[in-house]
Amino acid sequence: MQLDAKIPGGPLAQKWDRHRFELKLVNPANKRKFEIIVVGTGLAGGSASASLAELGYNVKTFCIQDSPRRAHSIAAQGGINAAKNYTNEGDSIWRLFYDTVKGGDFRSREANVYRLAQVSNNIIDQCVAQGVPFARDYGGLLANRSFGGSQVQRTFYARGQTGQQLLLGAYSALMRQVGTGKVKMFPRREMLDVVAINGKARGIVARNLITGEIETHTGDAVVLCTGGYGNVYFLSTNAMASNVTAAFRAYKKGAYFANPCFTQIHPTCIPVHGDYQSKLTLMSESLRNDGRVWVPKNTGDKRRPQRIPEPERDYYLENKYPSFGNLVPRDVASRNAKEQCDMDKGVGETGLAVYLDFEDAIKRDGKEVIEKKYGNLFQMYEKITAENPYETPMMIYPAIHYTMGGLWVDYNLMSTIDGLFVLGEANFSDHGANRLGASALMQGLADGYFVLPYTIGGYLAGTPLEEITTGHSAFKESVTSVNDSVEKLLSINGKRTVDDFHKQLGHIMWDYCGMARNDEGLKKAKGMIQQLRAEFQENVLVPGSKKDFNQSLERAGRVADFLEFGELMIIDALSRQESCGGHFNEAYQTAENEALRDDENFCHVSAWEFTGKDKEPVLNKEELKFDNVELTQRSYK
Amino acid sequence: MTKTINLTLKVWRQKGQKKKGRLETYKAVDISTDMSFLEMIDVINEQLTLEGKEPIAFDHDCREGICGMCGAVVNGRPHGPEKGTTLCQLHMRHFSNNDTIVIEPWRSRAFPVIKDLAVERSALDRMIQAGGFISVNTGGAQDANAIPVSQEAAELAMDAAACIGCGACVAACPNASAMLFLSAKVSQLALFPQGKPEAAKRAISMVREMDMLGFGNCTNETECEAECPKEISITNIARLNREFYKAGFFSAEK
Amino acid sequence: MNWLVNTLGSSIGKKLLMAITGLGFCSFLAGHLAGNLTIYWGKDAFNSYAAHLHSLGPIITMAELGLLFFALVHILTGTTLFYQNFKARPVRYSMNKSAGGRTIGSRTMPYTGFFLLIFIVFHLINFHFIDKTGTTIYQIVHSAFENIGYVVIYVIAMIIAAIHVSHGLWSAFQTIGANHVKYMPFIKVVSYVFSLIIVIGFGFLPVYLGYIA
């Protein structure tokens, strides 16, 4: 299929205006005739549900947690970018756009990113109006801080809990609409299938996680806001329930999956310290504003950090990248940490960590200033590690944090299934091969507050939609197949637990499709995953019954999808014979070990099409055109 | 550094909302002190699964203390013995070898047990639906810097807004009251100029909703403040009270 | 008037009723104590204080009715709260532990309250609804406290009253919304000092009368 991104014509800065004008409108009285299904209640899903309901649409919103307030957007710490230029440093929409495209290593769509930068300012306005308690200066105006990958201070923040506060803002708007009856809320539901009728998404099948009931819901459009797939690595900074299931089942129904191998490794996480570990905890990237990253100069130096004198420390980021220093983008910082550890300079018990040291910052600004900025992060670190970062340098190591890949969408955020829209981390569109800090919150809210409410109207106004009930054969088939797969999982009754398989999958992915990849490893991993998947189908042990609150069964379904999806990631990684952003193929690097892109052959989005169980997916390419920025070798020196 | 301990767990097992529950005893052997409390339950659950038994159902998600999904009463203390800590951030190094740990779900009429340690907390959402918002539609907002807010007000609002909605305040309150939760939201919005237009309506309808949901009444026992994982202060309850009196006695709101 | 019922009938409204009536009792106690202290000036001072009080006539009757009304509100609201709060947790914890928020006072409010109710009835029967012809109030009180049983009951009652007030007083301020980072520590200290004054002020009187005077 020829992929049409439907990017409007005209100069970059006018595309969105022009498109909004050209989009058909649904008149206010008619909006109440439409029913829209939103799956997920993070920043994208929460803001979309609320905004659509405000416009007059009837909305059914689903989430897997017990409350829509708990989606994993809540865990974002650092902040949200906007091109307000309140700091008078010369920031602009263009600069935010440029930084984001460059940060994404030129693998994102210019038009989408520009639109993102344009609406970034509206997001801040909207959130302040909702009562989001952003940090303020003494004069009562909003404060900003800087963040990786940028030389201006454009990040708005609410202590170390920006994601929480933005999500609670969207959640409050959503709750207001639930109160008015415009949104019907379905918590503790897991979407297990998209139902497409005549090529259009017309409903979903979901499992009620308390009763185990398989439920069907019709709608005139379906909006997936189901987040990223970082948990394919088992250990990630994602929440335990974050999964690929909704997106993957949509993929199996005909939505293309774009750039699945673009995963982001966050450089500042608390290192792993045991097999039992269930997740990794991120320390906000904002720590790199004041913390200095270093390792001992000599390999295998096992002295306590305080015992290592200044001349024997290697501040490798500052030395290698004098102009950005500790604030290089995430992929660069992560890879460098791995490089140091690979050279046996890693610190801590496992040797898989580097220091992030605040000694100089405390000397310069005083403990109080540092405490005010990072107090809660330091506290969190101490809680987990039992070490006091005011006295001992923190130990950090990269961890899977965000996935840039996702379901392919056009400029309207619609997937290759008509009427199936995908927002936030679940889509692929804005971050290219690497996301800059404080941009995920921006994208989730941009999609939900300011993009989808317009584009979905264009779809609904311009598409004939026949009356449909859940009695339609497509719903019945879907319910049968969902039921079958649930029963299959329960009937295997093997000898290994779901988590056991998940951990093994995670190791394979981390070892061969993690921070650095090579063809040989990827090929090996592909075989290993196929084998593991086959074993899973015969040897997994899922206790309990289906008509019950059964958390093992929930996880089993998700891991089954990860086992298939992991292979897709590897296929994508193998097909992209270049290095860019989060995808680093060791065969393609500059003399200075930076990612070496191949713009000639790989300046495209890889959108994968499902062709059947155990069949190779088909690659569709969307060529990326850069009319407004020059493709350069990213340099943060 | 890393060491391991052995524990006896007494865990509340209850098959469903209408079923009778009881405490069951499990042995937790070779538990690393670097584990979080939930990771310790993970280990037990893996064992139970392999023994052909049903694992312990418990809610959890982010495991970094912010989503508010997890929580259980550990030895009589919601989220366990550490101050300002959620259950997922509680590490086993705070327990000693051969300790007996009693683990129970949040107990309140407003939070019926779903299964084992998982409870139904939609009552918290219901209170927010009643008025825990500022009624602004997407789009019409003025420039963010058009409304200055003193740093003091912003900080106080943030202190209140830090609430993660876990329900520990209800679980800790001898009366199973939800006043701390409610007051945190009312306070946050009352402290901002943006929240003023609806302040009276908000205070009255949220309190009314709370009273209907089956929570107990606040009697200033202050256990909520002592147990809150985000250490939200009862000064917010005093502020809620003021807001409520203002609304009840001096506004036209009924 | 629906709004008034709604406002006062809500959980916060009930608290307010408890707080206002409670503060009323605290000020009554202060006044009562001030009057009782005249005992230390001898029986004439005390008797003349009583006589002066009674000479106020309708004013004192009004005050008594006011106190009775406050008492009814305090008791009925308190009982309602106790019942509702008990029902709010149908299944109790098998293990209870405080995080340090509760105090002896807060923990025992309904029980100390109930005891005080009984004590007040006892106290009124002894010293108020008593035939005072041909005797003085000083004599009545003095002879009562020659009985060690009375002394013990009164001292215990005052300790219980102090426990009740130690939570009630600061709690009333919290309830009416007067909790401020700058003043709350002071209010708490005042509550404890006030409770101490109650114990010492009232509690020493029976001992003084029974054994010293």
DSSP letters, A467-500, are ---TTSHHHHHHHHHHHHHHHHHHHH--SEEHHH
d(CA A557, CA A206): 12
d(CA B48, CA B54): 6
Contact criterion met (CB < 8 Å) for B77 and C97: yes
CA A168 from chain centre, in angstroms, equals 19
* C98 is a domain residue: no
d(CA A325, CA A327): 5
Residues 36-95 of C with CB under 8 A from B: 81, 84-85, 87-95
pLDDT at residue A150 tops 90: no
CB B210 within 8 A of CB B180: no
Within C103-210, residue ranges assigned H as helices are 104-127, 137-144, 148-175, 184-207
Looking at the DSSP assignment, which residues form a beta bridge with residue A326? none
Within B91-233, residue ranges assigned H as helices are 122-129, 151-161, 168-172, 179-190, 199-212, 223-227
What residue numbers bound the domain in which C130 lies? 2-87+104-212
**A:B CB pairs within 8 Å:** 219
Q: What's the full length of chain B, in residues?
A: 254
- Which candidate, B77, B80, B104, B107, places its Cα nearest to that of B223? B77
d(CA A170, CA B128): 12
Tokens 């992560």 label which residue? Answer: A334
Within chain B, residue ranges assigned H as helices are 37-50, 122-129, 151-161, 168-172, 179-190, 199-212, 223-227, 235-245
Task: Give the pLDDT score at B89.
Answer: 94
Q: How far is B174 from chain C (nearest CA, A)?
A: 8
pLDDT at residue A61 tops 60: yes
What average pLDDT does range A57-86 have in this prediction? 96
What average pLDDT does range B186-201 have in this prediction? 97
Which chain B residue's Cα is nearest to A49? B138
d(CA C195, CA C213): 25
Tokens 């009982």 label which residue? Answer: C79
d(CA C82, CA B170): 16
d(CA A507, CA A521): 13
Which chain C residue's Cα is nearest to B168? C99
Q: What are B57's two structure tokens?
A: 């159902």
Contact criterion met (CB < 8 Å) for B38 and A74: no
What average pLDDT does range A60-78 have in this prediction? 96
CA B230 from chain centre, in angstroms, equals 9
Q: What is the pTM of this model?
A: 0.96
Give domain B122-135+147-250's CATH architecture.
Answer: Orthogonal Bundle (1.10)
Task: Give the pLDDT score at A42.
Answer: 98
Q: How many domains does chain C have?
A: 1
What average pLDDT does range A29-55 have in this prediction? 98
Say which CATH topology domain B4-115 has: Ubiquitin-like (UB roll) (3.10.20)
Burial of A540 (0-12, 13-18, 19+ CB in 10 A): buried
Q: Give the model's confidence band at A149: pLDDT under 50 very low, under 70 low, under 90 confident, else very high.
A: confident
**Which residue among B75, B108, B208 sits closest to C10, beta carbon to beta carbon?**
B208
What average pLDDT does range C179-189 have in this prediction? 95
C-chain CB neighbours of B215 within 8 Å are 11, 88
Mean model confidence pLDDT for chain C: 95
CB B101 within 8 A of CB B95: yes
CB C50 within 8 A of CB C32: no
Which chain B residue's Cα is nearest to A177? B129
Contact criterion met (CB < 8 Å) for B218 and C11: yes
Task: Render pLDDT for A532-567 as a digit per residue (tens, 0 to 9).
Answer: 999 999 999 999 999 999 999 999 999 999 999 999
Residues of A acting as catalytic residues:
330
Tokens 């409770």 label which residue? Answer: C195
pLDDT at residue A637 tops 80: no
* C79 is a domain residue: yes
- The region of weakest confidence among A171-175, A580-584, B181-185, C17-21 is A580-584
CB C72 within 8 A of CB C12: no
- Which candidate, A605, A496, A615, places its Cα nearest to that of A564? A615
What average pLDDT does range A433-455 have in this prediction? 96
Roughly what angle, to the nearest 10 degrees, separates helices A93-103 and A110-130? 120
Within A181-232, residue ranges assigned H as helices are none
Task: Give the pLDDT score at B77.
Answer: 98
Q: What are A63's two structure tokens?
A: 């989430």
Task: Give the pLDDT score at A160.
Answer: 84
Task: Render pLDDT for A524-533 as a digit per residue (tens, 0 to 9).
Answer: 999 999 999 9
Within A262-387, residue ranges assigned H as helices are 316-320, 330-342, 359-365, 367-385
Q: Which of B17, B19, B62, B126 to mutate to test the interface with A (most CBs of A within 10 A)?
A: B62
Which chains would you list as touching C if contact means 3+ CB atom pairs under 8 Å?
B
Task: Render pLDDT for A469-479 as a digit per residue (tens, 0 to 9).
Answer: 999 999 999 99
Q: What's the full length of chain C, in residues?
A: 213
CATH number of the CATH domain containing C40: 1.20.1300.10
* Neighbour count for residue C89 (Cβ, 10 Å): 22
Strands A406-407, A292-296: parallel, antiparallel or unpaired by DSSP? unpaired
* C99 is a domain residue: no
Residues 8-37 of C with CB under 8 A from B: 10-16
Contact criterion met (CB < 8 Å) for A131 and B89: no
d(CA A370, CA A368): 5
Task: Give the pLDDT score at A148.
Answer: 73
Which chain A residue's Cα is nearest to B192? A131
Task: Give the pLDDT score at B51.
Answer: 96
Task: Give the pLDDT score at A374.
Answer: 86
d(CA C86, CA C93): 13
Looking at per-residue confidence, does A637 or A366 come out higher? A366
d(CA A59, CA A226): 16
Contact criterion met (CB < 8 Å) for A178 and B129: yes
Task: Render pLDDT for C103-119 as a digit per residue (tens, 0 to 9).
Answer: 999 999 999 999 999 99
Contact criterion met (CB < 8 Å) for A449 and B138: yes
A-chain CB neighbours of B34 within 8 Å are 273-274
B-chain CB neighbours of C106 within 8 Å are 219-222
Q: Do chains C and A touch (3 or more CB pairs under 8 A)?
A: no
Q: Which of C15, C16, C93 to mutate to test the interface with B (most CBs of B within 10 A)?
A: C93
Task: Render pLDDT for A191-220 as a digit per residue (tens, 0 to 9).
Answer: 999 999 999 999 999 999 999 999 999 999
Q: Which of B120, B241, B242, B253 to mutate to test the interface with C (most CBs of C within 10 A)?
A: B241
Q: What are B37's two structure tokens?
A: 């409390």
Q: Which of A57, A59, A64, A74 to mutate to test the interface with B (most CBs of B within 10 A)?
A: A74
Task: Give the pLDDT score at A3.
Answer: 94
CB B114 within 8 A of CB A549: yes
User: Does residue B212 sit at the A interface (CB-CB below 8 Å)?
Assistant: no
CB B200 within 8 A of CB B154: no
User: Which ipTM score applies to this complex?
Assistant: 0.98
* CA distances (Å), origin A319, targets A308, A594, B145, C210: 18, 15, 39, 88
Looking at the DSSP assignment, which residues form a beta bridge with residue B151? none
pLDDT at residue B133 tops 90: yes
pLDDT at residue A103 tops 60: yes
Give residues with Cβ within 8 angstroms of C115, minimum separation 6. Answer: C157, C160
d(CA A628, CA A571): 31
Phi and psi at residue B6, to the nearest 5°: -115, 140
pLDDT at residue B146 tops 60: yes
Residues 89-128 of B with CB under 8 A from A: 89, 91, 93, 114-115, 118, 120-122, 124-125, 128
Contact criterion met (CB < 8 Å) for C88 and B176: yes
CB A500 within 8 A of CB A275: no
Looking at the DSSP assignment, which residues form a beta bridge with residue B104? B73
Q: Give the model's confidence band at B1: pLDDT under 50 very low, under 70 low, under 90 confident, else very high.
A: low
Task: Render pLDDT for A215-234 as a digit per residue (tens, 0 to 9).
Answer: 999 999 999 999 999 999 99
Distance spanning both ends of chain B, measured CA to CA:
61
Sign of CA dihedral B100, B105, B106, B107: negative
Which chain C residue's Cα is nearest to B239? C177
d(CA B156, CA B193): 13
B-chain CB neighbours of C81 within 8 Å are 217, 219
d(CA A352, CA A341): 6
d(CA B238, CA B190): 12
Q: Which amino acid is at C128?
A: H
Mean model confidence pLDDT for chain A: 95
Within chain C, what is the greatest distance between any pair of CA atoms? 60
Q: What are A175's two structure tokens?
A: 């709750």
**B:C CB pairs within 8 Å:** 141
* CA distances (Å), origin C13, targets B219, B240, C20, C75: 12, 12, 10, 15
Strands A540-541, A496-497: parallel, antiparallel or unpaired by DSSP? parallel
**Which residue among C89, C97, C100 sits closest to B176, beta carbon to beta carbon?**
C89
What structural domains does chain A harbor?
266-400 (3.90.700.10), 473-617 (1.20.58.100)
Rg (CA), chain C: 19
Contact criterion met (CB < 8 Å) for C107 and B174: yes
**Which residue among B76, B174, B245 sits closest to C95, beta carbon to beta carbon?**
B76
- Which candidate, B238, B49, B58, places its Cα nearest to that of A501? B49
* C41 is a domain residue: yes
Roughly what angle, to the nearest 10 degrees, separates helices A43-55 and A162-180? 30
